[in-house]
C-alpha cells in the first residue's frame, strides 16, 4: 500500500486528448484510455451532484482508475479527493489527472487539491486506508464506485464486479457521512445489467440501508447506445424519481435532454397491423427504449398513446406505427419519423433497386435513407445506388425506407422534417 500526493507527483508518460473535449488531455496507464470516463460525462455527473446538499468530508472513489470522474467531483464540489486504485500505474495517472483539472480551473494548491490523496491499494481495505489518509468515521461526503467487470461478454454476474458491492459497502459504511436521506453514493455500473441483475443490486443496497432512496440513471451520447448506467442513492437520489434517462448534448456545455419517471406506467403494447398508407412510422433511440422510459416520453409526444403499434424490429431500430405526427419530430430521441407514402411488395436487393428509386421519384423524393437490417456488405451498395440515381434530380422531400415486420413489405416514409441524428 502506497500513499501518493497529487501535487508532488512527477509527470510520467504522454497525455491524450479527451474523447469529448479535445482541448483537455488526460494521462492513462495500460488499457486505461479505453476504460476512462469522457470529461463531458464526468462533468455532467458532477454538475448534477452539486445540486444536492452534500455533507462535509472527502470524496471517495475506491476503484478510481484514471481518476477523471474523481477529479470532476472534487473540483466541482471543492472537496478533497481520496482515490484508491489497485494498479499503481493507474494510481499515478489519477494523481496527474487531478493536477490537470486543478490547473485547468486555476485551483492548483488550493484546499481541495492540496488535501487530496491517491493510494495504490485494495479499495476494500478501509481501516488501513483510513489510517494512512487520516480519515475518521463519518467523514466521507460522497462514495463513488465504478467496479471492474468482464469486458468481452454481453452479460455478467454481480459477483464478477471487482471490488464487489457488498465488500465495498461493508468496508466503508462506518466512514460515510449521512444526510436525512442516508449516505450519498453513486454506483457506475455496466449498461449490460439485466432487470434481474438490477434487482440484485437493489437487494444488496437494501441489506445495508433499508428503505434508502434510489434513482436509476441511463446516460447516452447518441447512436442508440447506453453509455452509462448509474444508481444514485440516499442523499443524491431524486425524491420520487425511480428512473432517469439523460441524452447528452452533442457539444460540450450544450443542453442535455432529460426524461424522468415519477410513477410507474403499465402500458399495453398493441400488435402491429398490416401496412397502410398515411400512417406514421417512427424509429426511436434504442437507448431510450432500453431504459424503460419510452412510454412516458411517448405520452408527451402523442395525443393518444393507445394508437401506438409496436413493430418487432431489432433492438438497434425500435420502431412504432401511429396515427398522427409526433409533437416534436426533430427531438433527440427520434432517429427518423415520417408518413408512409408508398408500400412496395418486393425484396430489398440489387435486382429491385431501380424499382425502389422509381417509386421515390414518383413521390417527389430527393434523398432516401435505408433504415432496416441488411447484410453489412449489401447495405452500402444499395445505399450508394440510391444516392447516385437520386442525385441532381428535382425531388423536394427527404424519406427513409424501412421494412414492415409482419408482411416484410417495404415502407417508403417521407420525413417531417429530416432528423440528422442517426
Total domains in the fold of the chain = 2
CA dihedral 218, 204, 65, 175 (to 10 degrees): 120
Q: Distance of alpha carbon 86 from its chain centroid, rounded? A: 26
Same domain flag for 185 and 109: yes
DSSP string over 200-228: HHHHHHHHHSTT--EEEEEEE-BTTB--E
Residue 222 lies in a domain: yes
Residue 355 structural domain: 280-415
DSSP string over 89-118: HHHHHHHHHHHHHHHHTT-TTSHHHHT-EE
Same domain flag for 363 and 410: yes
Kindly give the pairing relationship between strand 58-61 and strand 140-145. parallel
Same domain flag for 157 and 254: yes
> pLDDT tens digits, residue range 283-336?
999 899 988 899 899 988 998 877 888 886 556 789 999 998 999 888 889 999
Grid coordinates of 154: 454481453
Count of Cβ atoms closer than 10 Å to residue 33 Cβ = 15
Residue 409: CATH number of its domain: 3.30.2130
Picking from 261, 295, 330, the residue at the C-terminal end of a domain is 261
Among residues 272, 239, 320, the alpha carbon closest in space to that of 51 is found at: 239
Same domain flag for 112 and 232: yes
Residue 272 lies in a domain: no
Residue 253 lies in a domain: yes
Count of Cβ atoms closer than 10 Å to residue 77 Cβ = 18
Residue 124 lies in a domain: yes
Among residues 32, 268, 96, 73, the alpha carbon closest in space to that of 186 is found at: 73
> pLDDT tens digits, residue range 325-373?
999 888 889 999 999 999 999 999 999 999 999 999 999 999 999 998 8
Lowest-confidence pick of 82-96, 144-158, 161-175, 342-356: 144-158
Q: Give the whole-angstrom CA distance, residue 156 versus residue 245.
A: 23
Picking from 261, 290, 306, the residue at the C-terminal end of a domain is 261
pLDDT over 90 at 30, yes or no: no
Residue 114 lies in a domain: yes
Same domain flag for 363 and 405: yes
Same domain flag for 249 and 391: no
Specify whether the CB–CB gap between 50 and 79 falls below 8 A.
no
Same domain flag for 56 and 145: yes
Picking from 199, 230, 261, the residue at the C-terminal end of a domain is 261
Q: Whole-model pTM?
A: 0.85
Same domain flag for 287 and 192: no
Which contiguous run of DSSP H or E holds residue 378? helix 378-390
Same domain flag for 326 and 372: yes
Amino acid at each position: 500500500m502506497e500513499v501518493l500526493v497529487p501535487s508532488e507527483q512527477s509527470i510520467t508518460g504522454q497525455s491524450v486528448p479527451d474523447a469529448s473535449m479535445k482541448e483537455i488531455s488526460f494521462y492513462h496507464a495500460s488499457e486505461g484510455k479505453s476504460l476512462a470516463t469522457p470529461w463531458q460525462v464526468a462533468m455532467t455527473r458532477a454538475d448534477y451532484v452539486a445540486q444536492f446538499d452534500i455533507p462535509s468530508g472527502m470524496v471517495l472513489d475506491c476503484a478510481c482508475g484514471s481518476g477523471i470522474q474523481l477529479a470532476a467531483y472534487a473540483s466541482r464540489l471543492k472537496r478533497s479527493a481520496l482515490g484508491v486504485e489497485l494498479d499503481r500505474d493507474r494510481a499515478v495517472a489519477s494523481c496527474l489527472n487531478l493536477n490537470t483539472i486543478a490547473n485547468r480551473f486555476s485551483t492548483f494548491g488550493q484546499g481541495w487539491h492540496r488535501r487530496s490523496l491517491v493510494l495504490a491499494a485494495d479499495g476494500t481495505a478501509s481501516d488501513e486506508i483510513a489510517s494512512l489518509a487520516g480519515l475518521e468515521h463519518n467523514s466521507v461526503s460522497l462514495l463513488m464506485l465504478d467496479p471492474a467487470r468482464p469486458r468481452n461478454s454481453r452479460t455478467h454476474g454481480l459477483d464478477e464486479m471487482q471490488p464487489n458491492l457488498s465488500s465495498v459497502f461493508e468496508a466503508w459504511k462506518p466512514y460515510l457521512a449521512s444526510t436525512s436521506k442516508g449516505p450519498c453514493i453513486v454506483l457506475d455500473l455496466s449498461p449490460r445489467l439485466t432487470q434481474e441483475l438490477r434487482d440484485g443490486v437493489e437487494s444488496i443496497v437494501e441489506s445495508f440501508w433499508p428503505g434508502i432512496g434510489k434513482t436509476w440513471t441511463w446516460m447516452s451520447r447518441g447512436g442508440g447506445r447506453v453509455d452509462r448506467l448509474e444508481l444514485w442513492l440516499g442523499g443524491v437520489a431524486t425524491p420520487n424519481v425511480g428512473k432517469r434517462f439523460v441524452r447528452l448534448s452533442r457539444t460540450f456545455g450544450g443542453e442535455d435532454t432529460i426524461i424522468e419517471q415519477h410513477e410507474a406506467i403499465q402500458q399495453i403494447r398493441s400488435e402491429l397491423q398490416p401496412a397502410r398508407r398515411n400512417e406514421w412510422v417512427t424509429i426511436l433511440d434504442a437507448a431510450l427504449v432500453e431504459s424503460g422510459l419510452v412510454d412516458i416520453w411517448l405520452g408527451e409526444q402523442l395525443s393518444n398513446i393507445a394508437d401506438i403499434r409496436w413493430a418487432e424490429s431489432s433492438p438497434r431500430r425500435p420502431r412504432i406505427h401511429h396515427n398522427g405526427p409526433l409533437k416534436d419530430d426533430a427531438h433527440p430521441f427520434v432517429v427518423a419519423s415520417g408518413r408512409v407514402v408508398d408500400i412496395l411488395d418486393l425484396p430489398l436487393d440489387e435486382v429491385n433497386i431501380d424499382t425502389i428509386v422509381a417509386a421515390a421519384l414518383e413521390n417527389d423524393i430527393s434523398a432516401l435513407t435505408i433504415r432496416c437490417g441488411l447484410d453489412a456488405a449489401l447495405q452500402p451498395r444499395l445505399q450508394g445506388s440510391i444516392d447516385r440515381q437520386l442525385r441532381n434530380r428535382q425531388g423536394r422531400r427527404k424519406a427513409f425506407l424501412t421494412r414492415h415486420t409482419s408482411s416484410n413489405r417495404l415502407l417508403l416514409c417521407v420525413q417531417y422534417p429530416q432528423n440528422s441524428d442517426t
